[in-house]
Structure 1
Amino acid sequence: MERRLYVLAASAFIVTAVLYSAWITGQFTTPAVDRAHGYVSELAARDQPWTRLFRTSDALAGLACLAGVALMPRAGREWPGWLALAAFGALTTAGGLFPLDCAALSSPACGRGPLTPAHHAHVVTGLLAAVAAPAAMALLAARWRTWPAWVLTGLTVASTLVTAAALAAGHLAGLAQRFQLLVVAAWLVYAALRLLVADVPVPAPALPHVVRQGRGPAVLIAGGPSAAWCHWDGVARELARTRTVIRFDRPGLGLSPASPVPPTLHGEAARLAALAPEHPERVTVVAHRAAAWHAEAFARLHPLRVSALVLVDPAAAPRGRRGTSSPGRALGRWLPALGGTWGAAALARLTGPALHRLLCGTADAHGLYSQGRVLAAAVGEWLARRDMAADLRLIRAEHAFPDVPVTVLVSGRARGARLVEELNGRLVRLPVTRLRVHLNVLPAIADAV
């Protein structure tokens, strides 16, 4: 999937270069704009005949540039350059949304009357974009260390300075700017070609993050959706006095690396089997929310390795017999690769800590939820729920539940009774909120174990 991301990002940069060069046709369709002295952005001025065309091309060019940066897999210390290029894309889009009122350099009458805020906004965004483009090129050239990147960067910086000098002198600013835009478009094409021929690193298989503490009979803790090992610190500390407590992070969550394949119920049951002690020793499994499905599947598929189940606020299986939709499965296959992109990293940094505080009531002390792979893994687990529920129904039909004690801790009045009946377990109702149950009922979980 990473190779496809490189291709998509490269395609986005080529589209950016094409749309960013739409001004070339304007040399023939808008003769009112002076080719030697007038700015290219004057083609999109409100008083010009093809304003909508060039405004749209500018806005789409900026969006395509943003899409290219967002789809780029994270690489080394290149983030300042890609951030500057994203700023260039955003400023280019803003320039298309806020056009000039009139052809400022080509029309002597422009500026005699009051100008709208959009006109002034376009001037500001144009100046900032003229700085962001060479800055991005220079920062990335410093990382790439290739002579084409340095040549194009040098030409862009030189043409930017010449454009500023020509604008101050009042002569030939249009020619200098047009050369600058051509070089920027050429650099975008070069960046795209560089991505197309780049060697995509093949990630080596990595083991999940596992924490073991204490001594005694084994207890295996399976956290709920998006949870990490650290959410169970209090429970593990209490149980470790008399037990060997095993905590782990599923792929992409906590400190575990992402997996190239979406999660499945059989895969999660196999993960519990791999982490549990070898037969004949048995393990008590503490599972929260949807991880209760993993624990039940593990117990049914490996009945001789389970001593007890403690299901904390178990999730109800989605109704109906249909699994995940085809678009959902397709997105699930892309998510591991998307989690390693700059776009996922930016989205996670903006939303992850706030969502963690909202759902868990505590700050993200380890900074886990500011990472794109964690966000992608959380979405992937949510997308896989229906397939997991369908697999659980099949496992229930084919494998009997072993004769082991089951304790179900729930936070609502009308929840859990059906599961307790199916598993012949014991129901314990708790007066706490559902989302934070594993943080608030430490004594109840310890007593159940």
Structure 2
Amino acid sequence: MERRLYVFAACAFIVAAVLGSAWVTGQFTTPLVDRTNGYVSELGARDQPWTRLFRVCEALSGLACAFGVALVPRAPMVPAVPRMAREWPGWLALAAFGLLTFAGGLFPLDCAALSDTLCGRTATSLAHRAHLLAGVLSTGAVLAAMAVLSARWRSWASWLFTLLTLAATALTGAGLAAGHGVGLAHRAQLTLIAVWLVYVAMRLLVVDGDEEEQVPLRVAPGRAGGVGGARGQAPDPTIGYGRPHVVEEGTGPTVLITTGPGAAWFHWDAVAVALAAGHRVIRFDRPGLGLSPRSPAPPSLYAEVARLAALSPDHPEQVIVVAHGVACWHAEAFARLHPLCLAKLVLVEPACPGGRRPLPAARSAGRWLPALGGTWGAAALARLTGPAAHRLLTGLPDPSGVYRMGKVPAAVAGEWLARRDMAADLLRLRADKPFPPVPVTVIDAYERDGCRERLPGDLGAALVRLPAAGRPVPLRDPDVIVEAVAAR
């Protein structure tokens, strides 16, 4: 999928270059704009005959450029390619160029500022001034993007375009000061920018479209948001694929904790601290969540069952599984498929599988999300919204910056899209595989709901009902979970 993202990003940059070159036709359709001394943006001035065409082309060109940046997969931050690790300022500047170009299309000039001698004799509108400001800022942004990316790529061709564009920009300023020649220099500048965008597209297709490297696992001691013991994680979990992040502490009977939708290992710190005094507690982050790297495949019920089996102790030792939310489906499926491995099951606020049919469109979208989680667009979205959304929903800080990573919203969306498929698989398992005779406790806090009220009876479980509240049970009532695990 990453390879396809490179192709789509390259196509977006080519579209941006083509739409940004629509001014070429304006030399013939709008003769009143001086080709030698007039700005190209004067073609889209309100008083020009083809204003809508050129404004739409300019706005779409900017959007295509920003969209292309959003789709670019982030370079793998591994020692073999250190020079690629700091491209983000260049891509950020290029995205700013696209957005400022879009703003220039939204806010047109009132009149042909240089070609029309009468323009500017009366007060200009806010849109006119906004267009001029956006033009200056977009020029600075694209020059910064060209310089930074050329330096990171160490490409003489990119440096050539950068220096020529810088020279054309200087000539545009000199022409503006001298009162003639602005149009020629401005047209040369825009041509060079368009050619450079095509070069970026070609580079993405030829140079950066390689498969991402597997990121090795390293184990380091310390808390880092956990309770101690060993912590395994990738050097940069936002990049590439790899093994999940696992936190293990304590000794004694094994307790395996699997978190709810969008949650990370540190949400269970209070439970783990209490249990670690007499148990071996294992927590982990599912692919894309917490500090676990992404998975190349979308989530599925059987993949999560296999993950629980891999993290469980070897036979004949049995494991106590504690699950929250939709992870209760994984735990129940694990119990039905591996009955000899399970000592006890604690289900916290279990989700109801329902009976809705899986959607093919959701399945198709889910296949793209792991790759999209590694793009610059996902990283920007997470940085802007992730920490605030996490604090709003949990009331907790984010000690490891987990919710600033682009892979997390993609993983959350992927699990949400996979819910119907997981539910259908669980319902088939319920029909085919009997539930083993193991102790089960269901801890719930909900309004009256027929589906969720039937679950304790279907599993022969003890029900612990808590008052409904806004925060998840592991955060507000960890002692209840600890008591359920310790109960005989």
In the superposition, the TM-score normalised over structure 1's length comes to 0.98
Q: Which amino acid aligns with 1:4?
A: R
The answer to whether the Cα contact below 8 Å between 2:441 and 2:463 also exists between their aligned partners in 1 is: yes
SS in 1 for 2:105: helix
Q: Does 1:329 align with 2:363?
A: yes
1:386 paired with 2:440, answer no
Q: Please give the alpha-carbon distance, in whole angstroms, between the structure 1 residues aligned to 2:481 and 2:321.
A: 11
Aligned residue type for 2:464: V
Q: Report the Cα distance in structure 2 between the residues aligned to 1:409 and 1:135, rounded to whole angstroms.
A: 55
Report if the CA contact (8 A) 2:12-2:68 is conserved.
yes
Q: Which residue of the partner structure matches residue 193 of structure 2? A: 184
| Aligned with residue 262 of structure 2, among 226, 236, 258 | 226
Q: Where has structure 1 moved over 6 Å in runs of 4 or more?
A: none
Task: Give the SS at the match of 2:290.
Answer: coil
Q: Is the 8 A contact 1:361 1:436 kept in 2?
A: no
Pair 1:32 & 2:32 matched: yes
> Who is 2:55 aligned against?
55
Shift in Å at residue 316 of structure 1? 1.2
- Residue aligning to 2:430: 396
Partner of 2:201, secondary structure, is helix
Which residue pairs with 1:74 in the alignment?
A: 74
User: Which one of 116, 129, 137 corresponds to residue 138 of structure 2?
Assistant: 129
- 1:412 is displaced (CA, Å) by 1.9
Cα deviation, residue 434, structure 1 = 5.4
Q: Report the residue type matching 2:319 in the other structure.
A: V
> Does structure 1 residue 436 correspond to structure 2 residue 464?
no
Contact 1:420 1:427 in 2 (8 A): yes
1:348 and 2:382 are equivalent in the alignment: yes
Q: Structure 2: how far apart are the matches of 1:379 and 1:33?
A: 49
Partner residue of 1:284 out of 320, 323, 346: 320
For 1:202, the equivalent position in structure 2 comes to 212
Question: Which 10-residue stretch deviates more, 428-437 or 97-106?
Answer: 428-437
Match of 2:286 in 1: 250
- State the Cα deviation string for residues 238-294 of structure 1 (Å, max 9, x = none): 001111111011111111110000010011011101101111111110000000000
3-state SS in 2 of match to 1:110: coil
Q: Kindly provide the amino acid, as one letter, of the partner of residue 39 in structure 1.
A: Y
1: distance between equivalents of 2:354 and 2:132?
53
Measured after TM superposition, the shift of residue 417 of structure 1 is 2.0
1:355-403 per-residue CA deviation (whole Å, 9 max, x = no partner) reads 1111111111211001001111111011100000000001101100000
Q: Is residue 74–residue 342 contact of structure 1 (8 Å, CA) maintained in 2?
A: yes
Corresponding residue number in structure 1 for 2:218: none
Tell me the TM-score normalized by structure 2.
0.90
CA contact (8 A) 2:256 2:321 kept: yes
**Which one of 113, 117, 126 corresponds to residue 108 of structure 1?**
117
1:411/1:434 contact within 8 Å kept: no
Distance in 2 between residues matched to 1:318 and 1:96, nearest whole Å: 48
SS at match of 1:308: strand
- Root mean square deviation of aligned Cα: 1.0
Structure 2 contact 3–211 (Cα < 8 Å) conserved: no
* Cα offset, 1:432, TM superposition: 4.6
Q: Does 1:275 align with 2:311?
A: yes
**Structure 2: 5+ residue runs without aligned partners?**
76-84, 215-240
Aligned length in residues: 447
Aligned to 1:368: 402
Q: Which moved more, 1:203-212 or 1:74-83?
A: 203-212
Q: Which residue does the alignment assign to 1:359?
A: 393
1:292-331 maps to which residues of 2 (within 5 A)? 292-320=328-356, 322-323=357-358, 325-331=359-365
Please tell me whether the aligned partners of residues 447 and 468 of structure 2 are also in contact (alpha carbons under 8 angstroms). no
SS of residue paired to 2:200: helix
- The match for 2:229 is none
> Is the CA contact 1:413–1:429 (under 8 Å) kept in the aligned structure 2?
no
Q: Hey, what does 2:484 align to over in structure 1?
A: 448
Instruction: Give ranges in structure 1 of 5+ residues lacking alignment.
Output: none
2:446 and 2:21 mapped to 1: Cα distance? 61
Q: Is the 8 A contact 1:313 1:434 kept in 2?
A: no
Letter in 2 for 1:7: V
Q: Name the residue aligned to 2:13.
A: 13
State whether structure 2 residue 247 is matched by structure 1 residue 211. yes
